[in-house]
Amino acid sequence: MIDPNRLVKQASVLADRVITPADGVTVLIYHRVGGGSGGAVDLDLDVFERQLEHLAAHHRVITLDDAVAELTAGQVDGWAASTPVDTRSHTPSTSRPVVLTFDDGTDDFTDVVVPALVRHDLPATLYAATRFIDEQCAFPWDAPPTSWSALRDAVATGLVTIGSHTHSHWLLDRLDPAELDADLDRSIELIEDHLGLTPTHFAYPKAIPGSPAAEIAVRRRFRTAALAGSRVNRPGRTDLHRLQRTPIQRSDDDAFFAAKADGGMRLEGELRALVVRARARGAAQ
């Protein structure tokens, strides 16, 4: 049987040969690792470990803060023969810098992902949807949340940055201003209260841009905001409140993952964004 998902991936690789990915910072999106759900974004641990090994060998894995510094400086070290900004960078090379990000805050992030990051000494950002963590209620796809104490331990490793993914994981293209402000502020407040830090990075739920009012509210509160799109973030040409990220899926074999880390697979990302937006239009929240 023909797998349409794989056909799209193969077409994306071919498209990359026509339109070569630009130089810049690749930001990868993960959701779950070792959650045991078999879902499209729930990776097996051995696959994730292999991906981390690939990144450590072929890329500079940097923090989101260091990516911002490179993007706003107008050049990416690696193409400029200078010392990398990131103090956790591996051997300087011409490799593309990569940022690891995770959405939501399920328990496998602290139980499975963080120990793997520690083993490989690689940094990552978690965008936490705080209501599920604070109330200890399962996410809509029946994934259990992590806990504040586990997140404190994760932050203590020095490898994990915590950002906001809203409080209630509501889509921000349909909230009135009062609901919007209350939800964003509650997320910030809980992260400050429980982790002792103020989040400066934000990711839109389901990578769907908010209304004009929502975008203003997000820009006022956060240094960066992330979407999807599977595009490279280019130095000096990136809106930090519209950071592009590339989703990593269970169906990505080693070759597809390598292509995504290299800034490719844009066609798949654009098609996926169209599907997500179409589904969201029919959803109440």
At 278 the three-state DSSP class reads helix
Paired residues of 162 in beta bridges: 126
> What pLDDT band is residue 279 in, cutting at 50, 70 and 90?
low
Q: What is d(CA 240, CA 238) in angstroms, rounded to the nearest whole number?
A: 6
Print the SS3 string covering 31-60: CEECCCCCCCCEECHHHHHHHHHHHHHHCE
In tens, the pLDDT along 57-114 reads 999 999 999 999 999 985 554 443 233 333 333 333 447 899 999 999 999 999 999 9
At 276 the three-state DSSP class reads helix
- In the chain, what percentage of residues exceed pLDDT 90? 71
Instruction: Report residue 181 as tokens.
Output: 């402000």
Mean pLDDT over the full length of the chain: 88
pLDDT of residue 17: 81
- In the chain, what percentage of residues exceed pLDDT 70? 87
4-10+23-281: what fold?
A: TIM Barrel (3.20.20)
pLDDT of residue 276: 61
Does 201 have pLDDT greater than 90? Answer: yes
In tens, the pLDDT along 231-243 reads 999 999 999 999 9
pLDDT of residue 278: 63
Domain coordinates in residue numbering, the chain: 4-10+23-281
Counting runs of H as helices and runs of E as strands, what totals does the chain give? 11, 10
The torsion of the CA quartet 191, 193, 198, 204, rounded to 10 degrees, works out to 20
109 DSSP assignment: I
